[in-house]
Amino acid sequence: MTRLQSALAAFLLATTALNPAAAVLAADADAADDSAADWRPHKPIVLAQSGGFQIGGKILHNPRNPNLTLSCDHGYVEYFRPWNPRRTSLVMWHSSSTQVWQNRWDGGEGFKDKFLRRDYPVYLWDGPRVGRANWGCNTTFYVPSYQDQANFAAWNFGPSYPHWWPGVQFPTRNQGAWEQATSARYQEFDTRDNVELHANAAAIAADSGKLGRRIVYLTNSAGGLRAQLTAIKSNTTHIRGMVTYESIGYVFPDNIGIRDSHFGGFGPIVVPLEDFKKLARLTAIQFVWGDHRDETYPYVRQSQLAAELINKYGGNAEVLFLAKDAGLRGSTHIAFADMDNDKVAGLLDRFLWRNGLDEY
């Protein structure tokens, strides 16, 4: 262990009594050398296979001519399988676009390549009607919404455009980085029907075995709610865990008095208790929050309640605040694309190691 790691362990140990998540990080500090030994920052990426496929969806027949069909509402997966893969697959599920997993804000290395270097199979997921799976079975409308400036605050770059948070993990003087970030978005359909549509397709993908048989979802924003529901809809044990970066929306059991939103795309979604217990059967779940997220923020409170309930039924869920628990300041809504994403990746390393999800 280096002096820096020893100091970090001492600091985390001192904060153990105040914060359970800090206690976990303290216990993991001694394992940092072992985790780092499995990869090198400039280790070549050697792939056995890469490609893509559609999955799920349905076929519509033209009511006027049944011989004419439309294949639609499928999901799309782009995959990268290392030459010497670990057993756990990382399925990267966006809310804005797959681009957020591919690069850091300044164009540097993103999570996709970072974890390919660590020998994890990586799968980039586009849900139905989004990105490369945008052929829908229903009529959709696109109306320009002029929301670049709204993205700024929604992604937690600052309180309002163009006022950056001090120390934010974004290259604030790089106008090109800002333009790349806000122009990379896909059209979203944040409705309850769309959440169900995505979860249905993702459950088919998970159960197919084509994503591997030890899946950990990495999600962002509204993708977190869809992944939770996917784990409930899945009929296999292929889904082993999830790490949600600022999940907007949560699933709850029907025995605690929470009302289902029914129509909105951000939850809460209420399911029968026995279905909710499927989340407790996952190996591990981590709900991650960036900087400037007060514990009174409604979705932070929902994440804490969801974790408490999952654990009540025998699960293994935790809430991790990157600032107060891990000392990472300036994290945005999309921390895995931040300028310090090496450190964010290190926290994911520890999560996977701690829960036995890093094995070859």
Q: Is the pLDDT of residue 9 over 60?
A: no
Q: Where are the domains of the chain?
A: 31-133+141-354
Q: Is the pLDDT of residue 100 over 60?
A: yes
pLDDT digits (tens, 9 = 90+) for 238-297: 999 999 999 999 999 999 999 999 888 999 999 999 999 999 999 999 999 999 998 899
Q: Report d(CA 111, CA 105) in Å as an integer.
A: 12
pLDDT score of 24: 53
pLDDT digits (tens, 9 = 90+) for 12-45: 333 333 345 555 555 555 554 444 445 577 799 9
pLDDT score of 149: 94
Q: Is the pLDDT of residue 2 over 60?
A: no
Provide the mean pLDDT of the chain. Answer: 90
Q: Is the pLDDT of residue 46 over 50?
A: yes
72, containing H or E segment? strand 65-82
The residue type of 337 is A
Q: How would DSSP label each residue in 197-212?
A: HHHHHHHHHHHHSTT-
Q: How would DSSP label each residue in 29-59?
A: HTTHHHHHHT--TT----EEEEEEEEEEEEE
pLDDT score of 32: 47
User: What region, left, alpha or beta, does residue 51 occupy, with left being phi > 0 and alpha being psi -120 to 50 degrees?
Assistant: left
pLDDT digits (tens, 9 = 90+) for 124-172: 999 999 999 999 999 988 888 889 999 999 999 999 999 999 999 999 9
Q: Give the predicted TM-score (pTM) of the model.
A: 0.89
pLDDT score of 37: 45
Q: Does 77 or 4 have the greater pLDDT score?
A: 77
**Stretch 180-184: mean pLDDT:** 92
Please state the CATH superfamily assignment of the domain spanning residues 31-133+141-354 in this structure. Alpha/Beta hydrolase fold, catalytic domain (3.40.50.1820)
**Stretch 60-66: mean pLDDT:** 95
